Each structure stands twice: as C-alpha cells, then as structure tokens.
Structure 1
Amino acid sequence: MSPSRRIGLTGSIGAGKSTVAALLRARGYPVLDADQQARLATQEPGTLAALDALFPGVVVVGVLDRAALAARVFGDPQALAALNAVVHPRVRARMAALEEQAVRAGAAVTVHDVPLLFEGGLDAKMHGVLVVDAPLAVRVARVMARSGLTEAEVLARDARQLSPAEKRARATAVIENSGDLNELEVQVTAALAQLGLK
C-alpha cells in the first residue's frame, strides 16, 4: 500500500526545514519526520546493543550518549557507514509503517522530512522534492543560536552535506526562508502550487 503522492522535504542545516514541516502539518499534510524516527529507533534495546557493540561506551545505563556517538563518527567515513548500517534500516521501516498508517487514515499525500534525502538516494522514491534554503550566514547564525555550536562547527557540518546549489538544482520546488513567517507562508503556498497541491 502506498499513497498516490509522496513528497520529500529537505534542506541544508539551519535552512528552516522544521518550520516548513510545521506549516505543512498545519495545512493537514501528514509529515513523517526521519530525525524523530531515528531518535526513537536509537532508544530500542536492539539498536542500543548493536551501537554499544560497535562503539563501546556510547551507551550509558541504557541511554545513548548522542554527543559521544557524534564525536566518534564525525570525520570518520567508515564509522559513519557502520552507524548508518545499524540505524537507517530501522528508520526506513518506521517511516514505511507511518506512511501506511497515514494512507489507511485516508491521506492522498505524505511528506517525508529527511535531512539527507539526496545523500541517501531517497529522492528517487519521491513524486516531488521541496528544498528549503536560506543564505549561508543566516543558516549559520540560526544553528549557532539554537545549538551552542561554534561557527566553525556549523560550517564543518554544512560541508558534509550536499551543497545548497546541488539541492536546489535537484528540487522540484525551492522554498526561500530568509524572511519572516508570513513570507515563508507565501513561499510554501507557491511551492505546493508547483507540485499541484494546495
């Protein structure tokens, strides 16, 4: 069972993808959040056991130390690939179950909020892709304000993702998020129109 339309939602760090996701939810679209499902997946005993075996010390009293895990895999492609091999299949299964649930509830469209949509090749499974973007300086300032990361740390994370220019080139529609919420609403409306949605 699959919906008639599956829309991908992605964007670079600090672009405001979560804000757009909230606006889409407010318009009645089921938004399936891959990050949220990853957090839930990494609370499962089986996942924790697998991660503890791969990265001893990252599970403390049955809880994943996310900062320690991030420090272990950042900048180490082999460690990151090992992490992804454990987590990604579990996240995909959770997203598929949520999608089926939404379809059974009558949803004709589901929005898949996936930060690394293009990097994971998931755009091939979408009927359209919305990319949220904003100028680099704006994105860096947003992430620094919300996370406490330094500018260098934000830039390093941004550099690990597909470039905004590449994402824009591969998007069905681009949502510019450099203004206020009212301007963003206008952008969302225009992007949905490009997809033939309301």
Structure 2
Amino acid sequence: MNIPRRIGLTGSIGAGKSTVAALLRARGLTVLDADEQARLVTQDPEVLGLLAARFPGVVVDGTLDRAALAGRVFGDPAALADLNGVTHPRVRARMAALEARAAARGEQAVVQDVPLLFEGGLDAQMDAVIVVDAPLSLRVQRVMARSGLTEAEVLARDARQMPADQKRARATVVIDNDRDLPHLEMQVDRALRQLGLGG
C-alpha cells in the first residue's frame, strides 16, 4: 500500500502558517488542518457533553463558547491537560483517517498543519517539517490587526509556545514570511523543491 510522506507544517502565532497552507493547497498538496479538525471534534455531542461536565458554562445551547473555554484553560496547565485529553485523541483519529484517504488516492505526500507540532512531540512522526517564521514585531502586528488582542495578550500567547529560534533549529525547511506575497510564493516553491515535491 502507498504510504505518503508526512510533512509537518508549523509556525509561531502570526507567522503566516495559514497563508502557506493555502499556497501548498494551490500547488496540489493535501493539507490536513489540525485546528479545523479540532473545531469539528468540538461539535460532536459526546465531546460537548464531556466539556460541559468538566468546564461548566462553556457549552451554551449545544454550542461551544470557544472564548470562554480558552479563558478557562489559558494559564491553567491542569485544565488544559483535561481539555487535550478529550480532544487530542479524537483529532488524531480524524487526521489519521484523512491521511488514509490520501494514501488510497495514491498521493505521495500529505501536509499536517499543526500549530503546536513541536510542543506536542508530533514532529517525531513527520518525515520533514516546514517552519513558517517572521520577526516577532511583525507577528504581533498581524495578530493584533486580525484578532483585536492587545500587544501584551499576543506576547503572552507567543511566550506559551516554543521560541521561534528553537523551531527554526529543528525545521527541515524554514519559510521566512517577512515580505510580500510574491516573495512568500517563491519561498514556498523553493521549500517544495528542497523536499523533493516539485514546486
């Protein structure tokens, strides 16, 4: 049976990982988005029941209040571990099923877009890892513009992730997203060539 190469895609908050994921899709690669699968998992009535029991008040009229849940787990390692214990195995199962479908289609590579790839130890399961990076000041500006968070809030979230320089050191390929879109596209194509995936 065909087993596609597994390419991890990650980057610090505001680096532009989602933009790179879209560019990879545009080049014909299957990109599996862990965040998207997590959203789907948290629409499952069984999961909602588990979350409502552990975090009273975060499920309202059968819908997860993501902001309320984030507020409950941010800065609370035990609460975050409980949340991850409910969601992570289900997200991994969904990602594995999607990967199996890609394998059945005969695809040579599958990209797994995982924000906390290194933090979760998932890099060990990848054949290669692409890290998207940009200077901290630029990343902070981007997140503030899109989310309404304050600079302090963005910096606090960034501080909870592995430092960008450590991610760069562990990457197979680094894409610097510090200029315009044409420059980013050139870097994506170069990364694909480096990984033997055309481009």
Letter in 1 for 2:8: G
Query: What SS does the aligned partner of 1:131 have?
Result: strand
1:135 is aligned to 135
User: Residue 150 in 1 paired to residue 150 in 2?
Assistant: yes
Q: TM-score, normalised by structure 1?
A: 0.98
Q: TM-score, normalised by structure 2?
A: 0.98
1:41 is aligned to 41
Note the aligned Cα RMSD (angstroms). 0.9
1:73 is aligned to 73
1:174 is aligned to 174
Letter in 1 for 2:107: A
CA distance in 1, matches of 2:107, 2:124: 21
Tell me if the contact between 1:2 and 1:99 (Cα under 8 Å) persists in the aligned partners. no
User: Residue 184 in 1 paired to residue 188 in 2?
Assistant: no
CA distance in 1, matches of 2:108, 2:53: 41
User: Residue 197 in 1 paired to residue 194 in 2?
Assistant: no
Identity of aligned residues (%): 73
Q: Where do residues 1-198 of structure 1 align in structure 2 (5 Å cutoff)?
A: 3-198=3-198
Query: What SS does the aligned partner of 1:174 have?
Result: strand
Tell me if the contact between 2:4 and 2:103 (Cα under 8 Å) persists in the aligned partners. no
Query: What SS does the aligned partner of 1:31 have?
Result: strand
CA distance in 2, matches of 1:128, 1:2: 18
CA distance in 1, matches of 2:196, 2:84: 34
CA distance in 1, matches of 2:16, 2:51: 30
Deviations 1:28-65 (A, max 9, x none): 00000000000000000011001011101100010000
| Structure 2 alignment gaps of length 5 or more | none
Q: Runs of 4 or more off by more than 3 Å in structure 1?
A: none
Query: What SS does the aligned partner of 1:86 have?
Result: helix
Tell me if the contact between 2:6 and 2:112 (Cα under 8 Å) persists in the aligned partners. yes
